[in-house]
């Protein structure tokens, strides 16, 4: 297991230096493989933007959080889900498109309206990443999800950010299945370990 300086990664994101982030994470993955790791799991959604260089750097399996989330969404039985995450995750094809392709024919993904998606992005970095959870924030996001449920017929929520479970949205939306990428990824990792 290895950790990286989160601020350095955020700086790469903000300065659009994804290639540098990818090289750094790929190097780390290779060092983990050389140390005897049986698989690589990148336990963060946004940085899956650089999953390909990481996957290419190693010969061991890469346990993809997007695939795990797709599996969790399928198990909800819904035919449409709203995906919440950073703007990178929600608005770029590397994540939204990948999960959508994984679900093709089984489920359609949708997003919150642009202003609400931007709010989710801002609270991920401005509150949740600092360990803060405001009741106002929790309610505002739940209200946005409720609107998408009633207006678009959404039947499930995809939490595509490791910090979003801090909102505990299940308390405000008890009848809506919530697929949490973090729990789904953990389950995929445990499954890999126990079946290896």
pLDDT tens digits for range 130-142: 999 999 999 999 9
Residues 51 and 96 occupy one common structural domain: no
Q: Do 48 and 71 sit in the same domain of this protein?
A: no
The average pLDDT across 60-64 equals 97
Within this chain, do residues 72 and 138 fall inside the same structural domain, yes or no?
yes
Q: Which two tokens stand for residue 130?
A: 């600092």
Token couple for 114: 């642009």
**In terms of domains, do 41 and 74 share one?**
no
| Assigned domain for 154 exists | yes
Last residue of a domain, one of 26, 45, 63: 63
Residue 103's pLDDT is 82
Indicate the pTM of the whole model: 0.91
Q: Domain of residue 167: give its range.
A: 66-186
Place of tokens 């899956």: 48
Question: Which residues contact residue 16 at a Cβ distance below 8 angstroms, ignoring those fewer than 6 apart?
Answer: none
CA 23 from centroid of its chain's CA atoms: 21
Q: Is residue 1 in some structural domain?
A: no
User: How far are the Cα atoms of 13, 47, 52, 145 from residue 120, in angstroms, in the given order?
Assistant: 17, 17, 26, 11
Residue 96 lies in a domain: yes
Helix (H) / strand (E) containing 108: strand 108-110
pLDDT of residue 9: 86
């Amino acid at each position: 297991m290895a950790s990286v300086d989160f601020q350095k990664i955020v700086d790469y994101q903000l300065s659009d230096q994804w290639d540098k982030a990818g090289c750094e994470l790929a190097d780390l993955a290779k060092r983990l493989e050389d140390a005897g790791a049986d698989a690589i799991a990148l336990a963060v959604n946004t940085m899956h933007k650089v999953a390909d260089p990481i996957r290419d750097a190693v010969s061991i399996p890469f346990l993809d959080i997007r695939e795990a989330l797709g599996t969790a969404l399928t198990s909800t039985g819904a035919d449409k889900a709203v995906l919440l995450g950073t703007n990178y995750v929600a608005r770029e094809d590397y994540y939204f498109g990948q999960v959508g392709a994984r679900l093709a024919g089984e489920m359609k993904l949708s997003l919150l309206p642009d202003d609400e998606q931007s709010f989710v992005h801002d609270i991920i970095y401005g509150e949740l990443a600092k360990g803060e959870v405001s009741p106002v924030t929790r309610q505002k996001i739940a209200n946005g999800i409720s609107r998408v449920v009633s207006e678009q017929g959404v039947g499930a929520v995809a939490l595509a950010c490791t910090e979003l479970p801090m909102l505990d949205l299940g308390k405000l939306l008890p009848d809506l299945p919530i697929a949490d990428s973090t729990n789904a990824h953990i389950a995929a990792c445990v499954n890999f370990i126990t079946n290896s």
